[in-house]
Structure 1
């Protein structure tokens, strides 16, 4: 690992149209790790300079163009025909075992620090160096059976395109890719709502530490019922504490087009005699209207209407 970093530090900047050096192992793994944060499918060759953190940091450190890292992420995602079996094998192995991915990521960072590469040059973009564990958020909304169902057509198409990649390997990678997409969606929803429940305002940051299980970021229109585009749309998501997430998902409460929180019939009556229910779903702690930061993107009314007509217990 140290030898890899010494070779990186010895590189000269490569200007087009010169051929760039091959990716070394630590670059491949860091590209994969960056894909946990970056929706690289949003960028093309002319927009790669706009790719968010940590793409630009990695490009500067490794003396590459940002587009090179985005292309490598696409190879690892197996969504690029003839992207390379080695990339697919690496991605499938690491993304299906987050403990292994964390271990390899930390070993790469420790080796970089030994070579004098500090956090400004190579940020700890997964926030693991201080002892936190790698946690894929939003996974409670997914089930293996629903993932498998969603991949039926895609798996056949990929198998035809990537004839040299074993079907089992392709399936593992596609399953992992779905989970990573859900993770990126949930991270975006949490950031949009500044890590607070939109129903009661509970913060997921307690005693100075982020507590990932205190909040859930899930879809307004459920993942199983959404299209691929809708599954990644932050306007189709709410940040909620577990109690209010379940109340919304099961139709006990809903949100109208003006963002007012509404009860299912019978809830208010039951709260007059059930103190625990009143403590959970009364107002307070529920707000009359969604609690959204001033800078937050509002939920799309299309998703709110879907929930109100398909999930909300109206009678």
Structure 2
């Protein structure tokens, strides 16, 4: 599939593709399942915002992520075929087509407007009679007001020059491939962190889902991105959901979290809150980090790092 096929995609064209897709015969596990339609390629790329393709090897359907299985059912393919398409797009398979890796880069760097194309693919599905029970809006972009920004929710810490510098250090990838990897990986991390906290600020409980697409909650690294290893940067245990005010307070060391999840305010913040009611109101926090009962709190090793390297710089203790 060429880039032109995505650039020229319309809702009517997407609907025609969906009608062809849904008329397929059930796939044979080891049979040739045919060429991918552009809307299928978009869905495979979209899946990478929720699941790391490197974890999706093998042909056992039960071992594949639920979003991979859902897409496979919607496009009448095996889940292993969809997982393989994700690998092909990333260019991590020896026999993957070069045009697929080029599409991955174009979508991941913004050369192609993925958020808009994803919504066109969804609209085409609805026009063709493929409803939400078969293909839901699994990225939640239909109700988001940010388009591209709503998709890449985890890039606040990455200035353009930092992104390019980090990308240049990745072995075996071109700079543009590495940038696409970093953007998708960081967005996947942010979504996982926000999901762990039910999209609520861990410091005050503000519900970020009250106004979808307006970024009321942010996935904040406990150990900052610039100081983390590649693995730590994508570890959801190295994250806390925060509203913008408490995100800044945590990132700058005005707030920290003890091993027992008790929230502490730096001495200078406590003094400011005592003298300025507005500051006191803005930095009103819970006694302990608010973590849903079924979710895991940030890992102790990251909280320890924050208290040692970030908190101490702002505490008079």
Larger deviation: 189-198 or 136-145? Answer: 136-145
Match of 1:145 in 2: 161
Distance 1:184 1:175 in 2: 14
Normalised by the length of structure 2, the TM-score is: 0.86
Larger deviation: 134-143 or 249-258? Answer: 134-143
Match of 2:286 in 1: 287
Checking the alignment, whether the CA contact within 8 Å between 2:56 and 2:65 is kept in structure 1 is no
Match of 1:201 in 2: 205
Deviations 1:230-287 (A, max 9, x none): 1111111011111111111111121111111122233323332222222222xxx211
Distance 1:247 1:263 in 2: 9
Q: Gapped runs of 5+ residues in structure 2?
A: 1-12
Distance 2:133 2:16 in 1: 21
Distance 1:129 1:195 in 2: 18
Q: Gapped runs of 5+ residues in structure 1?
A: 159-169
SS of equivalent to 2:240: strand
Distance 2:137 2:58 in 1: 26
Matching of residue 314 in structure 1 with residue 315 in structure 2: yes
SS of equivalent to 1:140: coil
The count of residues paired between Structure 1 and Structure 2 equals 298
SS of equivalent to 1:239: strand
Distance 1:269 1:102 in 2: 45
Match of 1:166 in 2: none
Closer/same/farther in 2, CA of residues 17 and 300 from structure 1, 3 Å limit: same
Match of 2:8 in 1: none
| Residues 1-315 of structure 1: pairs in structure 2 closer than 5 A | 1=13, 2-45=15-58, 48-97=61-110, 100-129=113-142, 132-134=145-147, 135=150, 136-154=152-170, 156-158=171-173, 170-206=174-210, 209-281=211-283, 285-312=284-311, 313-315=314-316
Deviation at 1:222, TM superposition (A): 0.7
Checking the alignment, whether the CA contact within 8 Å between 1:189 and 1:238 is kept in structure 2 is yes
Deviation at 1:293, TM superposition (A): 1.1
Distance 1:35 1:151 in 2: 19
Deviation at 1:105, TM superposition (A): 2.0
> Which 4+ runs in 1 deviate beyond 6 A?
none
Distance 2:93 2:44 in 1: 15
